Amino acid sequence: MSDEKLSYEQARTELAGVVERLEQGGSSLEESLALWERGEKLADVCQRWLDGARERIEAARAARADG
């Protein structure tokens, strides 16, 4: 599944797994870098979802105030 199609929950769950693996240590430098890069991408996916949710809430509040 492409990153763009991940739900917030899927991205968050995978990100938690990446963080756990990094915290455990024992990976090679190359593996750690790959995990870090994946984590950055997943964090971006989560942030996009959160930004979208914030925009929807702000739009709903503005519509309610105008109504």
Length of the chain: 67
pLDDT band at 4 (very low <50, low <70, confident <90, very high): confident
Check residues 39 and 2 and name the one with the higher pLDDT. 39
Q: What pTM does this model have?
A: 0.86
Q: How far apart are CA 42 and CA 18, in angstroms?
A: 9
Q: How far apart are CA 44 and CA 7, in angstroms?
A: 12
Q: How far apart are CA 60 and CA 51, in angstroms?
A: 14
Question: In this model, does residue 60 exceed pLDDT 90?
Answer: yes
Q: For the chain, what is the mean pLDDT?
A: 95
Q: What is the pLDDT of residue 66?
A: 84
pLDDT band at 59 (very low <50, low <70, confident <90, very high): very high
Quote the Cα angle for 35-41-22, to 5°. 25
Write the DSSP symbol of residue 50. Answer: H
CB 36, CB 22: distance < 8 Å: yes
